[in-house]
Chains A and B, each alone.
Chain A
Amino acid sequence: MELIGKNISFKYSSSKGYLLKDINVKFSNDKIFGLVGDSGSGKSTLCKILSAYIRNYEGNVTLDDNNLPKKDFCPVQLIYQHPEKVMNPKWKMIKILSESWNVDEDLLSEFGIQNSWMKRFPQELSGGELQRFSVLRALNPMTKFLIADEMTTMLDAITQVQILESVLKIVKDRKMGFLLVSHDMDLVSTICDDIIYLKDINNV
């Protein structure tokens, strides 16, 4: 399975210069990839392009030679840094989770999600607990490629290990692709097989 970005360029309509210029990237599911760059360098923008959240870019993104779908479930899923921003604050956790798919009990306990959390609202859980839900939502069986954009930056070191270990296990079991975006070099070099520096591939 391959996720390929070809000649990707992007500029915000308000700015003169390009943020991303002629970027060529190729990700496969036989390695864990890491993407590193300074803040403001366009890491998150590139992630959003690769997962079809931004569509007005130049170039082409394909997953196994197919363009990403314009509607329906996108096989490339993005996990953000702040889980509370992707959840409806007026929904309880059970509804937020089942919005994506019916997660089985085994997976819930694998991620350390307690049954009592299901009846709570997002603001009644901590960042680490919410991020577990947000990751599980993205692990829908239709997901082929997972992009984690600073997924564990707001979490303490112990929670970071817990979540990443669970995710990597599933990624390997299901033979999914995984891209970890982070500024933490120790973390990236610990878990990634291949590290990409945005400044090396960005031709601005």
Chain B
Amino acid sequence: MMNKLLDVENVSISFIQYTAGLNQRDLKVITDLTLDVSEAEILAVLGSSGSGKSLLAHAIFGILPENANLSGTIKYGGKVLSQKDKEEIRGKDIALIPQSVNFLDPLMKISDQAIGYTENDNEKKEKKIKQRKIFEQYNLGPEVDDMYPFQLSGGMARRVLVSTALLSKPKLVVADEPTPGLDQKTVKETLNHFKKMKEDGVGVLLITHDIHAALEIADRIGIFYAGYVIEIAENKDFSGDGENLLHPYTKALYNALPANGFKLTKGHQPLHGEIPKGCPYYDRCEIRLDKCSEERPQLINLGNKKVRCFKYEDGV
């Protein structure tokens, strides 16, 4: 067993929102998120777009907006991270690959952004050599250094973001939706970058809505539903008729894929702020019990896997 890098335990994130006049309400977007990433492991968090899963990345790096409330613990290397710790290690031990080049400064040349802040000319020269070397590994020629973000194609932009994140030799990389809007070839190339990081012993947390991408590279997959992690399954469980998957939602999701039967399941995810009292999947569940409408199931630990469902209280 490799060393654990990141431990996210019972994290919840809510926002103060004005409803009418000066009335406020506390809107929970993430209610209970628990997961962990080890060295040389790729863990994917799979959730539908707009479900708030990007906030997880922002919480790890301490870049949530000011009106957000964060509770629960985020540990790195066994140590609970405070906001100050996060500011200290981000960009060094942990690095973020943002969603798009929109996160770059549009008026700054690519190499200057990749290098970042430097104290003096010597340091700048040193970093520049390092940057050139890593850009070369990712097939980015010297001409890219002097380009501005708008001049990059989708695939190049992705390579710039990946190589910039790797510049500081991080131990953990968090990638936020790295695949949408890219064609098949570029998606494949991007996913190969993550495979390579894994080979180099880097832990990768992949936040995505693309189940194909997740299945292609992840070792384990966490399923995010209505603000909860409802299951953490191993990649190999997503096979056959999905009989090794535990949670009914994960099974339904797997069987809805065009290649696995395109099976229809009714209902929709509850909206933020409308999550029922009991299990968030209660109204769509085929195997629900009486208590499911009243009581919220906890995440049950089953060795390498986890599931949030009363059915598995006594094991699988």
Contact = CB atoms under 8 A, between A and B. Distances in A.
A23 interface: no
A128 B264 contact: no
Contact of A126 (B253, B259, B266, B269): B269
B182 A39 contact: yes
Contacts of B267: 112
A184 B120 CA distance: 50
Contact of B183 (A40, A154, A159, A190): A40
Contacts of B264: 161-162, 165
19 contacts: A38-B183, A39-B154, A39-B182, A39-B183, A40-B183, A126-B48, A153-B180, A156-B209, A156-B211, A156-B253, A157-B254, A157-B256, A158-B256, A161-B256, A162-B264, A162-B266, A165-B264, A184-B258, A187-B258
B228 to A, nearest CB: 15
Interface in A167-189: 183-184, 186-187, 189
B253 A157 contact: yes
Given A39-B182, A112-B266, A127-B48, A157 B257 contact: yes
Nearest to A164: B262
B209 A158 contact: no
Contacts, number: 71
A160 interface: yes
A155 interface: yes
A161 B266 contact: no
B268 A129 contact: yes
Given A156-B48, A156-B253, A186-B259, A128 B268 contact: yes
B171 to A, nearest CB: 31
Nearest to A37: B183
A40 B264 CA distance: 32
A158 B258 contact: no
Interface string B246-284: 000000111011110011111111010000000000000
A191 B254 CA distance: 18
A190 B258 contact: yes
Contact of A183 (B49, B183, B211, B268): B183
B49 A154 contact: yes
B50 interface: yes
Contacts of B84: none
Interface of A: 38-40, 112, 124-129, 153-162, 165, 183-184, 186-187, 189-191
Contacts of A183: 183-184
Nearest to A41: B183
Contact of A128 (B48, B184, B254, B257): B48
Contact of A38 (B49, B50, B184, B269): B184
Contacts of B49: 126-127, 154-155
Interface of B: 48-51, 154, 180-186, 209, 211, 252-254, 256-259, 262-269, 271
A112 B252 CA distance: 17
Please name the 5 residue pairs, one residue from A and one from B, whose CB atoms are nearest each other, closest first: A39-B183, A157-B256, A186-B258, A190-B258, A156-B48
Nearest to B249: A158
Nearest to A156: B48
B183 A158 contact: no
B51 A126 contact: yes
B48 A155 contact: yes
B248 to A, nearest CB: 11
Contacts of B209: 154, 156
A159 B185 contact: no
A170 to B, nearest CB: 15
Given A156-B253, A183-B184, A190-B262, 10 more contacts: A39-B154, A124-B271, A126-B51, A127-B50, A155-B49, A156-B211, A157-B256, A158-B252, A161-B265, A191-B262
A112 B263 CA distance: 16
A154 B181 CA distance: 10
B50 A126 contact: yes
A38 B209 CA distance: 20
Given A112-B267, A161-B263, A154 B180 contact: yes
Given A126-B50, A155-B48, A156-B48, A161 B262 contact: yes
Contacts of B265: 158, 161-162
